[in-house]
Amino acid sequence: MSSTILHLRSESKPLEHRSALTPTTTKALIDAGYKVHVERSPERIFDDSEFEEAGAILVDEGSWQSVPADNIIIGLKELPEDTFPLEHTHVQFAHCYKNQEGWQDVLSRFPRGGGTLLDLEFLQDESGRRVAAFGYHAGFAGAALAVQAWAWQLTHPKDLLLPGVSSYANENLLLEEIGSALKEGEKKAGRPPRVLVIGALGRCGKGAVELCQKVGIPDVRELLLPREASEAFSNALLPSLLQLKNRQSARVWQQAEELFNKKVTALPAGMTSRST
């Protein structure tokens, strides 16, 4: 029996440095009998060589469109807007199940090509909780920006806006910069900021609380930390990924495909006809 091939595509959205697979989870999948093809990527936080060292085969960026139909395409964010039918099984966030703008055009590409969408947002464990999410690091990053904005407003003229931010290579660099800004703000205000985290026991809330603790705010961790966020997300997703080769009998993937089929029935009949 031939090995199941997972094809990690390069993300196309601007400033998206995160990845659904990491070198660590790639090695675990290869050790479990999968073949993993990884598209070279100029934006991904992990170097292509890290995946190659883990045993993956590097392939050209954008090559997912021409690989055999039985390859499973792994991505993170939605595909670029286009109209050609999709013939593969795609594992990704598609943002088309909640009647978002243009959802019919996005979703209809799958039935028109005979493909399947297994949406990461709706993968759930036995208790109904999402198997993987970026919430913790969203809270961590959001709190970091809040502290930075607080300090900026105290130390700069009101008409001077906080400059745009970019990703950090690792958590320590973020903490160093936010910690420095915090000290400047505290000098000006004569006190640390007062922080209220609503929903502090949830994923986002826990991240926000931990950021505050790590930079030294008393009484109280996504996009800014793409490496750490990717590692946490991909490791949480790994048990489900390991079941992909048996997805017809694996509960989490069965439910994802059932949901896809249900959503397809909501499309107008003319948008689901198989392209020839």
What is d(CA 40, CA 71) in angstroms, rounded to the nearest whole number? 17
For the question of residue 95 being annotated catalytic, the response is yes
- Taking each helix axis from N to C terminus, what angle separates 135-155 and 171-189, rounded to the nearest 10 degrees? 40
Which residue of the set 27, 37, 95, 262 is catalytic?
Answer: 95
What is d(CA 178, CA 184) in angstroms, rounded to the nearest whole number? 10
Are 37 and 56 a contacting pair, CB within 8 Å?
yes
What is d(CA 134, CA 204) in angstroms, rounded to the nearest whole number? 8
Q: Which phi and psi angles does 38 have, rounded to 5°?
A: -120, 120
CB neighbour class for 134 (10 Å; exposed up to 12, middle 13-18, buried from 19)? buried
**Residue (of 152, 172, 173) closest to 163 by Cα position:** 152
Written as one string, the DSSP assignment of 218-267 is -----TT-HHHHHHHHHHHHHHHHTTGGGTTT-HHHHHHHHHHHHHHTTS
What lies within 8 Å, CB to CB, of 217 at 6+ separation is: 147, 182, 192, 193, 195
For the question of residue 263 being annotated catalytic, the response is no
What is d(CA 31, CA 48) in angstroms, rounded to the nearest whole number? 19
Which residue of the set 13, 35, 77, 88 is catalytic?
Answer: 77
Tokens of 194: 């007062």
What is d(CA 125, CA 160) in angstroms, rounded to the nearest whole number? 47
Q: Which residues are catalytic?
A: 77, 95
